[in-house]
């Protein structure tokens, strides 16, 4: 269940660039009983420094556990990834 290949891209939030270089990888889980969406996991590596506000928000999210982290992640604004190349 490894990552097939990594693609380079950029991360935006509300139309503002928050990281100029990210690596994006897809991993697929072939276990039975999972829907197509549940099988796919998106992995993101931030290769450049993040915008300060996003770094603080992600740091706070990592420190939470269980249901508190799920509630906090639901309140988080989405991060849009733009993949470079084909």
Is residue 1, in this structure, part of any structural domain at all? no
* pLDDT value of residue 8: 94
* pLDDT value of residue 86: 66
How large is the average pLDDT for residues 49-76? 86
Q: Kindly give the residue spans of alpha helices, DSSP state H, lying in 1-86.
A: 36-39, 52-63, 66-75
Looking at every residue in the chain, the average pLDDT score rounds to: 85
Determine the structural domain holding residue 37 and report its residue range.
6-83
Residue 22 · residue 8 · CB < 8 Å:
yes
Task: Report the Cα–Cα distance between both ends of the chain, in Å, rounded.
Answer: 24
Number of domains in the chain: 1
Nearest to 44 by CA among 26, 20, 61: 26
Is residue 30, in this structure, part of any structural domain at all? yes
pLDDT exceeds cutoff 60 at 1: no
Residues counted in the chain? 86
Residue 9 · residue 82 · CB < 8 Å:
yes
């Amino acid at each position: 269940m490894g990552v097939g290949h990594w693609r380079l891209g950029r991360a935006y939030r509300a139309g503002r660039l928050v990281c100029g270089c990210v690596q994006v990888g897809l991993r697929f889980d072939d276990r039975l009983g999972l829907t197509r969406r549940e099988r796919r996991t998106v992995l993101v590596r931030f290769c450049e420094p993040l915008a300060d506000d996003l770094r603080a928000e992600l740091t706070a999210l990592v420190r939470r556990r269980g249901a508190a982290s799920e509630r906090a992640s639901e309140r988080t604004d989405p991060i849009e990834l733009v993949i470079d190349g084909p």
